[in-house]
Amino acid sequence: MTDLHPPIDPFESGVLDVGDGHSLYWEQCGAPDGVPVLFLHGGPGAGIAPSYRRFFNPTRHRAVLFDQRGCGRSAPRADITANTTWHLVADIERLREHLGIARWHVVGGSWGSTLALAYGQAHPEHCLGFVLRGIFLFRAQEVDWFLNGMGVFFPEARAAFLDFLPEEERASPLESYYRRLCDPHPSVHGPAAVAWSRYEESCSRLVPRLGENSAAACLPLARMEAHYMMHHGFMDEAQLLRDVGRIAHLPATLIQGRYDMVCPPVTAQALHQAWPGSRLDMVPDAGHAAMEPGIRRAIVRALARLSG
């Protein structure tokens, strides 16, 4: 991945107690006196990875990354107690205050774009701008697309997703998966987590690249995605579009894969139209995943334009 910056280790990391029994792993990379940039991972529940540090210029950016509640190196793992959009927004503010950062750019992809918008609209005074990828606004139509619409293009993946369930439960897959994913027994939630994650992964890239992940690895993502979908993202319908005026004065780059089947381009277009000053970068040869070549190049370019 030569189009990314070289691998880098954090210059600082720690664990932040945010209450409700949750503690968050966080790290800072790059230049301590650089342009502050917050990175929000997807999912919810996916966690951060060392490769995400490589989006940032180590001589220009002060990049802050953290694992959201219940995933990655945060604890307790796969816990949905006190785990809502607004708990995460409050966590971001606690982290900002802990690190002594007055204002920062906010970068997020997929669910990370949802959380970035929710945070920005709640705290615009602490934001410098946004770089958002694979836009997801958590409207009902987007959740329905994930559960049903992707099957138009990936019928075999959706068939496997439904076939995991008893025939009488296939008309309501979200409720059926959620019940299993929240079951305390690994023999119940483990296979459901693998089936859910395999479905999403099958649809995430222009050219699918499937591997086998363990049930333990899949559980935070699957459980939390179902949890947030069951609760409509803990937001009013179309709330993030309704309230975009709160951040419309701030710069934004929207990066979207033309063939993104998880978060279709129509959503990025809707946000771009509601945000007249935003820049929409439609990547012609990419799907949803952040590490597809066209997407990662677009993220690096957008980050290179950031100013303090």
Count CB neighbours of 49 within 10 A: 13
Beta bridge partners of 19: 22
Q: Are 286 and 258 in contact (CB under 8 A)?
A: yes
Q: Tens digit of pLDDT for each residue in 40-64? A: 999 999 999 999 999 999 999 999 9
Joined together, the tokens standing for residue 126 give 């602490």
Kindly report, residue by residue over 213-247, the tens digit of the pLDDT.
Answer: 899 999 999 999 999 999 999 999 999 999 999 99
Give the distance, in angstroms, between the CA of residue 202 and the centroid of all CA atoms in the same chain.
Answer: 17
Architecture of domain 12-139+235-304: 3-Layer(aba) Sandwich (3.40)
pLDDT digits (tens, 9 = 90+) for 124-160: 999 999 999 999 999 999 999 999 999 999 999 999 9
Is the model's pLDDT at 307 over the cut of 90?
no
Strands 279-283 and 104-109: unpaired
pLDDT at 109: 98
- For the segment 81-107, what is each residue's pLDDT rounded down to a tens digit? 999 999 999 999 999 999 999 999 999
All structural domains of the chain with their residue ranges: 12-139+235-304, 141-233
Nearest to 203 by CA among 154, 256, 257, 161: 154
The sign of the dihedral angle between the CA atoms of 265, 270, 275, 277 is positive
Categorize the per-residue pLDDT at 210 as very low, low, confident or very high, splitting at 50, 70 and 90. low
- pLDDT 10s digits, 164-180: 999 999 999 999 999 99
Tokens standing for 9? 């280790």
Catalytic residue IDs: 110, 260, 288
Report the run of H or E that residue 35 belongs to, with start and end: strand 35-40
The pLDDT value recorded for residue 207 is 81
Upper half-sphere CA count for residue 50 (Cβ side, 13 Å): 5
Task: Categorise residue 65: left if φ over 0, alpha if ψ from -120 to 50, beta otherwise.
Answer: beta
Provide DSSP, 153-217: T-HHHHHHHHHTS-GGGTTSHHHHHHHHHT-S-HHHHHHHHHHHHHHHHHTSSSS-------HHH
pLDDT of residue 91: 98
Per-residue pLDDT, 2: 82
What's the CA gap between 38 and 188, in Å, rounded? Answer: 36
Name 96's Cβ contacts closer than 8 Å, sequence gap at least 6. Answer: 38, 104, 126
Q: What is the mean pLDDT of the chain?
A: 96
236: which 2 tokens?
């009013």
- As a whole number of angstroms, the distance between CA 244 and CA 121 comes to 7
Measured CA distances, 124 to 17, 54, 104, 129, 299 (Å): 24, 27, 10, 9, 22
* Span 198-208, pLDDT tens digits: 999 999 988 87
